[in-house]
Structure 1
Amino acid sequence: MEQKTRTKRKLGSYPFVSVTFSITLALFVIGLFGLMALHANKLTSIIQENIELQVFLNKQISAGEVSKINRTIGSKAYVIKENNEPRIRLVTKDEAAAQFIEDTGEDFKEFLGDNPLRDVLIINVKTTYQSADSLKMIKKDIEKMSGVYEVSYVESLVESINENLAKIGVILIGFFTILLIVVVILINNTIKLALFSQRFLIRSMQLVGATSGFIRKPFLKRSIWYGFLAGLFSSLMLLALLMYANQRIEDIRALQDFKNLGILFGGLIVLGITVGFLSTYRAVKKYLQMSLDELY
Structure 2
Amino acid sequence: MEKATRKKKLGGYPAMGVVFSITLALFALGLFGTLMIYSREFGKMVRDNLNVKVYLKSTLTETQRSQLEKTLLGKEYVASGETALKYISKEEAEKDLVAQIGDYKEILGENPLKDAFIVGIKPGFQDTTNLKKIKADLETVNGILEATYEKHLFDAVNKNFFNISIVLIVIAVIMLVITFLLVSNTLRIALFSQRFLIRSMQLVGAKRWFIQRPFLFRAAGYGLLAGALTSALLWMLSDYSQKKLPDIMLVHNQQHFLLLLALLLGTGMIVAVISTFFSIHRYLKMSLDELY
% identity of equivalent residues: 39
1:202 counterpart residue number? 198
2:237 counterpart residue number? 241
1:121 counterpart residue number? 117
Structure 1: unaligned runs, 5 residues or longer: none
Describe how 1:156-167 pairs up with structure 2 within 5 A. Answer: 156-167=152-163
From 87, 91, 110, the counterpart of 1:90: 87
From 212, 216, 225, the counterpart of 1:220: 216
1:238, 1:113 → 2: CA distance? 61
- DSSP-derived class of the 2:246 partner: coil
The Cα shift of 1:60 comes to: 2.3
2:75, 2:251 → 1: CA distance? 26
1:113-167 per-residue CA deviation (whole Å, 9 max, x = no partner) reads: 3222110001211222221112222212211100101111100010011111111
Distance change in 2, residues 1:201/1:4 (3 Å): farther
- DSSP-derived class of the 1:175 partner: helix
The one-letter amino acid of 2:156's match is S
- DSSP-derived class of the 1:78 partner: coil
Describe how 1:1-296 pairs up with structure 2 within 5 A. Answer: 6-7=6-7, 10-82=9-81, 87-108=84-105, 110-296=106-292
Structure 2: unaligned runs, 5 residues or longer: none
The Cα shift of 1:281 comes to: 0.7
1:49, 1:277 → 2: CA distance? 42
The Cα shift of 1:275 comes to: 1.1
Q: Is the 8 A contact 1:23 1:227 kept in 2?
A: yes
Q: Is the 8 A contact 1:90 1:120 kept in 2?
A: yes
Moved more, 123-132 or 25-34: 123-132
- DSSP-derived class of the 1:247 partner: helix
1:86, 1:168 → 2: CA distance? 25
- DSSP-derived class of the 1:197 partner: helix
- DSSP-derived class of the 1:121 partner: strand
* Structure-2-length-normalised TM-score: 0.95
- DSSP-derived class of the 2:6 partner: helix
1:172-217 per-residue CA deviation (whole Å, 9 max, x = no partner) reads: 1122222211111001000000000000111111122211111111
* Structure-1-length-normalised TM-score: 0.93
Distance change in 2, residues 1:284/1:3 (3 Å): farther
The Cα shift of 1:265 comes to: 1.1
2:188, 2:83 → 1: CA distance? 57
2:57, 2:143 → 1: CA distance? 5
- What is the RMSD of the two structures over their aligned residues, measured on CA atoms? 1.8
2:232, 2:52 → 1: CA distance? 42
1:62, 1:3 → 2: CA distance? 100
Q: Is the 8 A contact 2:48 2:83 kept in 1?
A: no
